[in-house]
C-alpha cells in the first residue's frame, strides 16, 4: 500500500543522528522527516543491552504508531541492541526499517586496502560485537580492531568547545588504531562525524573514515523506490523534531549538527 504523504521516522539517543538526517535531507529533499531525539535518556552507549533493547523498541513502536512510511535507527548502540526486534516490529506494521552498522561495514570492507579495519564506538556497541559480525559476514578476511570510547559522545553532545583535554582524550582512543595500522576506520556512533577532522589529523590523511550518512540515505532511496513510495512533485519536504529532554538545549546543539534551522520545529515528547 502506498503511503507517499507519511514522513520517514528517524531516531537517536540525542543529536548525533542529525548527522544522518543531514545527509538524508540533502539526498532526499522532497521527503518529510520526523526525528525523535531521546536526549532525556542520553547516553545510550553506557546502558545495558536489556535497557537499550526495551527503550529502542518503545521508541520504534511510538513512531510507527504515530505514522511513518519508513523507520531509520540512526543510533549504533540501539541498532546493536535491538535492530532485529525492531525489524520484526516493522514487518508486522508493514514499515521497512533501515539501520546503521550493516551499510558502514559494507563500505569499510570494500575500500580497505590492507584489510585492517578499525571501529570506534560506544562501549555498548563494541560489547555487542555487531560490527565484528557484520564485517565477518561479508566474507573478506579482515583484521578488525575495536576501540570503546565511553567519553566521546557525551563530549560532543554537550558542547561545542574542544579544548586540550578533549584532544588528549581523542588521542588516547586513536593510539590502538594507529598501532594496529588500520587504513579504514568506521565511526561507529553518529556523534563522531563532528570530530572527524580531529580524528583525521591524528590518524593521518590516508586513513579512510566511514560514516553512516551517505550509506543510509542511499539505502532509504533504494527501499522507497522499490516500494514506489518516493515523494515527488515538490522540491522540498518538511522536517520536524520530537525531543524527550530539554527542547531548547536540543535546538541549540542540534543546529550545529544539522546545519539547518531547528527553531520552531521541535516539541517536547513524553515517552
* Residue 189 annotated among the catalytic residues of the structure: yes
- Candidates 71, 186, 189, 199; catalytic one: 189
Residue predicted with more confidence, 103 or 142: 142
What cell numbers appear for 177 in the block? 588504531
120-167 confidence digits (pLDDT tens):
999 989 999 999 999 999 999 999 999 999 989 888 877 655 678 788
220-231 confidence digits (pLDDT tens):
999 999 999 998
Residue 193 DSSP SS3: helix
CA distance 266 to 90: 25
Confidence of residue 16 (pLDDT cuts 50, 70, 90): confident
Q: What's the pLDDT score for residue 5?
A: 79
Q: What's the pLDDT score for residue 159?
A: 64
* Residue 174 annotated among the catalytic residues of the structure: no
CA distance 112 to 183: 6
**What is the crossing angle of helices 49-66 and 76-93, to 10°?**
40
Q: What's the pLDDT score for residue 161?
A: 59
Beta strands in 56-115 (DSSP E): 70-73, 97-99
CA distance 121 to 190: 9
Question: Which residue ranges form the domains of the chain, and what is each CATH number?
Answer: 8-99+213-268 (3.40.50.1860), 102-210 (3.40.50.1860)
Is the model's pLDDT at 77 over the cut of 50?
yes
Q: What's the pLDDT score for residue 194?
A: 84
Determine the average pLDDT of the residues in 30-55. 92
- 239 phi, psi to nearest 5 deg: -140, 135
Determine the average pLDDT of the residues in 110-126. 95
- β-strand partners of 188: 121
Cα 231 to Cα 5, 9, 23, 215, 263: the distances in Å are: 8, 14, 16, 19, 25
Q: What's the pLDDT score for residue 143?
A: 97
- Candidates 64, 75, 220, 243; catalytic one: 75
Q: What's the pLDDT score for residue 1?
A: 43
Amino acid at each position: 500500500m502506498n503511503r507517499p504523504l507519511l514522513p520517514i521516522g528517524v531516531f537517536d539517543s540525542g543529536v548525533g543522528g542529525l548527522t544522518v538526517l543531514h545527509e538524508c535531507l540533502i539526498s532526499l529533499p522532497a521527503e518529510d522527516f520526523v526525528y525523535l531525539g531521546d536526549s532525556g535518556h542520553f547516553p545510550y552507549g553506557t546502558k545495558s543491552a536489556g535497557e537499550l533493547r526495551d527503550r529502542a523498541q518503545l521508541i520504534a513502536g511510538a513512531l510507527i504508531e504515530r505514522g511513518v512510511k519508513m523507520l531509520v535507527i540512526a543510533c549504533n548502540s540501539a541498532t546493536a541492541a535491538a535492530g532485529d526486534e525492531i525489524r520484526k516490529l516493522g514487518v508486522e506494521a508493514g514499515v521497512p526499517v533501515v539501520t546503521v552498522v550493516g551499510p558502514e561495514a559494507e563500505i569499510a570492507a570494500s575500500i580497505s586496502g590492507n584489510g585492517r579495519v578499525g571501529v570506534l564506538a560506544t562501549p555498548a556497541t563494541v560489547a555487542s560485537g555487531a560490527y565484528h559480525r557484520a564485517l565477518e559476514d561479508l566474507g573478506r578476511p579482515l583484521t578488525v580492531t575495536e576501540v570503546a570510547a565511553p567519553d566521546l559522545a557525551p563530549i560532543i553532545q554537550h558542547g561545542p568547545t574542544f579544548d586540550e583535554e578533549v584532544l588528549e582524550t581523542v588521542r588516547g582512543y586513536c593510539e590502538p588504531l594507529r598501532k594496529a595500522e588500520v587504513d579504514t576506520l568506521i565511526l561507529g556512533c553518529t556523534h563522531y562525524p563532528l570530530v572527524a577532522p580531529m580524528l583525521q589529523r591524528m590518524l593521518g590523511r590516508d586513513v579512510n573514515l566511514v560514516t553512516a550518512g551517505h550509506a543510509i540515505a542511499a539505502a532509504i532511496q533504494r527501499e522507497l523506490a522499490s516500494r514506489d513510495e518516493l515523494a515527488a512533485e515538490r522540491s522540498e519536504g518538511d522536517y520536524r523534531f520530537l525531543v524527550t529532554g530539554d527542547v531548547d538545549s536540543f535546538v541549540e546543539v542540534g543546529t550545529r549538527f544539522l546545519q539547518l534551522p531547528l527553531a520552531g520545529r521541535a516539541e517536547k515528547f513524553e515517552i
